[in-house]
Amino acid sequence: MPTAWTVLLPLPVGPLDWVAPPGALEPPVGSVAAVPWQRGVRLGLITHVHEVPVDRTLQLNEAVALAEGIPPLPEPTVAWLLDEAWRTAAPAGTLLAALHHPAFGADWHHHIERLDGQPLSATAPSGQSQTTPDPDDEAPLHELREQGLLRETFTLKRPQTTVLTASTDRDPPDVRRTPGQYQAWQALTSAGTVASAAELARLAGVTAGTVRSLIQGGYAHYETTTSKSVPPQPVGPMPPQGQAAEPPPAWISGGTPEQAIKRLLPTLQADLADGHSVLIIAPERHTMDAAADLLEQHLPTLRQMPQATPVERIDWQHAVATQPCCVVTGFGGLIAPIKQPARLVILDAENETHKQRSGPRTWTPQAARSWADAHHVPLHLTDVEVGPETLALALENPPGTTQQGVRLTRPTVRWVISDLSGARAWPLGADLVRVIRQTVERERQALIIAPRRGYAAAYECESCRTAIACPNCDLTLRYHARERRLKCHQCGHHEAPPATCPQCGSDALDATRAAGVEWVARVVRDVAPGAVTYRYDTDVKDDLTALYDGHPGVVVGTTAALRLAPLPVLSLIAVTQIDGMLHVDDFRAEMRALRTLAVLETLAGDRRPLGVIQTFTPELPLLTALTDRDGDAMTTLRAAIESRRQRFGYPPYGILSRVQASAKREADAWSALTDLAAQLKTAGANDDEVLGPAPMPVARLRGRYHAHLLIRASEAARARELLSMVPATAPGGVRMRVDVDARDIGEVLD
DNA sequence: AGCACGCCGACT
DNA sequence: GTCGGCGTGCTC
């Protein structure tokens, strides 16, 4: 029977079949193949090689060729990819595209040859899209391909370098008549090659014109060479063999990523000594670098350079495919062709960057769980504050492969809760002002977290209280003082602050409430005139070198400042208003706030800073628990969070997925969800499983109305079953979006 | 994702 | 009367 290749393209489609090209060797699953697609050719991943009956081949096209020079993905990795796509109710190609395999981003030489000996219009170029772009050439090519008259190959296009070199078939230039040219020629002959004419002129100490004459005279010429494949070498010493390690912890809570890696180091050393590799995934670049910098001191390590070109990333793949090492990467590392993985480590597991914002919207720790299962290796999760879901993932390891987990101890912060209700000063209350002044007087550092960017959350009329709203979204425009602009933080709309109120015509407009970074920074300068203040948020990132050199100063920022490296003499950390973090209608709000505070604590390194939290609602359980240092209020709080999740079937006790509808007309979005809810219930879903439709926190965004439906399932298969009933679109131009691992209930998808 | 097909509004 | 908007459906 003929052979078929099942190929997955990096497009929102599932795996599809093509007949193997005649005479092709049987490729391993996980190879990259070129297949005809929409009158062109595209590259995809071979997920399956199987026999097909002859009558089936009549319906199928022939695959074009294997793409050469790409290390095939291990079979468990391909199995994981398909399984994970199934779990997220997304076409497998969507997940493949989100993982950014370098083969799909690289340029290829697409060589075409006619089998009947007739001439062909040379080599059809193949650009980034993998579809041959010239439409005049393409129609006949496509027909020839269908007739089986072509032999095609795909080889990687490597960057070419042009060098200047001496022509060996010539005598040297006349030293008497053209001494400059002779001098340049000598320099070139002894150097072998130089990068450019200008380089040679500099090297030989002659003018550019002299070198030009040398080239025109035929004494030197340019040579174009294709750069060779140079896989990077792992950095770091190889551990001695025979290292025995006790079972490592499945989760590590309470420290920085580096501290977690130090805890795992004996295990990793034993893994590599046994000839295995370890995959380590970090959510952000600086975490990746910090982890790799540490690992390199102890073990052979290869890190994925985020700015690497596709060809460099393919060379990197060759390196990780052939030698045992610690592989430090991002999300895309889940399809790195790793040699014999021993375990998978997710750093900073609770970091929100682990949630993919596009494509199948995977949550990396969850995807990592199924990756570890597919590869039969344990999964390790680390974070400064491991939460219930992360913990549950860690505890699913096969018995005996890991210990439960460890909590690292760190210097405790004495949090002071400062009640702002009834306070006269704002946005900084008397308590915070006092400690800021003390910090400045003692020449220490302070970090103050404001709840938002800009100067204020609203710019409003003082007589009729109307705030200027975004024309595209149901949001007030934020006032940015530095730029003197009103900005929408969702759609990017911005405008000049109006002189008069559009509602009542009054000219008394101002930013009077809901302070942001700029406002807080201004007040800090007012109350502590001697302080050197810095701003750190998405809009402005001041140079903090002086602070890292140990000089005093006050940093005012948003949560963007949580990404900073620890500050050397940080003695005050403060949150100007925590209420926004806690009053969010989200069952994860408390754990998220606890983590934010824990990250703040780590910014002081080994120091034990003073912590101040301002609030209008000091009676909130989380705040009272923070100050109850000797009692067990925090334990009680965590137990309450846990039991509430259990009672409502929220993660990790169930799966909470989100279906979002968006449309130009609000009623269309809602009726799509009402129809879906009815359809789900007809199909047997009960009231516990279908929650909603419900309004989104912000109904209108970028001119479209949004609403959502939550689907609560007890297990992955049930979630998948219900989500498979969600259509991609609904009447009225409604776009439907599914988020299986919804992490933020209020988040707007696309 | 791309591409074709198909159905309704403003124009050379 | 056509050009072109985008909503809908398909790709082995």
pLDDT single digits (tens) A582-629 = 877 789 999 999 999 999 999 998 889 999 999 999 999 999 999 887
Report pLDDT for A20. 93
Phi, psi of A19 (to 5 degrees): -75, 140
Looking at residue A75, its pLDDT comes to: 96
Q: Which nucleotide does the CA of A728 lie closest to, via C1'?
A: C8
Strand-pair partners of A43: A34
Residue A733 CA, nucleotide C6 C1', distance (Å): 9
Chain B positions within 7 A of any protein Cβ atom are 1-3
Chain A residues 18 to 57 with C-beta below 7 Å from nucleic strand C: 18, 35-38
**What is the predicted pLDDT for the residue at A120?**
65
Bridge partners, residue A556, by sequence: A448, A535
Q: How confident is the model at residue A709 (pLDDT cuts 50, 70, 90)?
A: very high
Q: What is the CATH number of domain A251-408?
A: 3.40.50.300
Region at A387 (left for phi over 0; alpha for psi -120 to 50; beta for the rest): beta
Q: Flag whether pLDDT at A222 surpasses 70.
A: yes
Quick one: which of A385, A382, A409, A384 has its CA closest to A394?
A: A382
Q: Which DSSP symbol is given to A469? A: B
Q: Which nucleotides of C are covered by protein (CB under 7 A)?
A: 6-9, 11-12
Res. A641: pLDDT tops 70:
yes
State the nearest residue by CA to the C1' of C10. A13
The pLDDT of residue A243: 67
- The answer to whether the Cα torsion of A582, A586, A591, A593 is positive or negative is negative
**Residue A119, pLDDT score:** 65
Q: What's the CA A732/C1' C7 distance, rounded, in angstroms?
A: 9
Residue reference for tokens 């208003």: A577
What is the CATH architecture of A655-739?
2-Layer Sandwich (3.30)
Q: Where are the domains of chain A?
A: 3-156, 160-226, 251-408, 414-455+515-639, 655-739
> How far is Cα of residue A686 from the mean position of the Cα atoms in its chain?
36
Q: Which nucleotide is nearest to A729 (CA to C1')?
A: C8
> Which nt sits closest to A7, CA to C1'?
C12
Query: Cα A72 to chain center, whole Å?
Result: 24
pLDDT tens digit sequence for A493-543: 888 878 888 888 788 888 888 888 998 999 999 999 989 999 999 988 999
Beta-bridged to residue A657, according to DSSP, are A711
pLDDT at A121: 57
Task: Work out if A61's Cβ lies within 7 angstroms of strand C.
Answer: yes
Query: Are A414-455+515-639 and A655-739 in the same CATH fold?
Result: no
Check pLDDT > 70 for residue A477.
yes
Query: Which listed CATH number (3.30.420.10, 3.40.1440.60, 3.90.1150.10, 3.40.225.10) goes with A3-156?
Result: 3.40.1440.60
Output the pLDDT for position A139: 47
Give me the amino acid identity at A531.
A
Q: Which amino acid is at A703?
A: G
Cα of first residue to Cα of last residue in chain A, in angstroms, is: 46
Å separating the CA of residue A232 from the C1' of nucleotide C9: 46
Task: Give pTM, 2 decimals.
Answer: 0.90
Read off the pLDDT of residues A419-448 as tens digits, 9 standing for 90 and up: 988 777 788 888 899 999 999 999 999 999
At A556 the pLDDT is 94
Residue range A414-455+515-639 in CATH 1.20.1290.10: no
User: Which of A358, A281, A485 lies closest to A95 in space, CA to CA?
Assistant: A358
What is the mean predicted confidence (pLDDT) over A340-368?
95
Check residues A474 and A282 and name the one with the higher pLDDT. Answer: A282
Q: Does residue A38 approach strand B to less than 7 Å at its CB?
A: yes
Among chain A residues 102 through 161, which have CB within 7 angstroms of nucleic chain B? Answer: 129, 131
The fraction of chain A above a pLDDT of 90, given in percent, is 56
Which pLDDT tens digit goes with each residue over A76-132?
A: 999 999 999 999 999 999 999 999 999 999 999 888 888 777 666 544 444 333 334
Please check the confidence at residue A723 and state whether its pLDDT lies above 50. yes
Name the phi and psi angles at A460, rounded to 5.
Answer: -130, 165
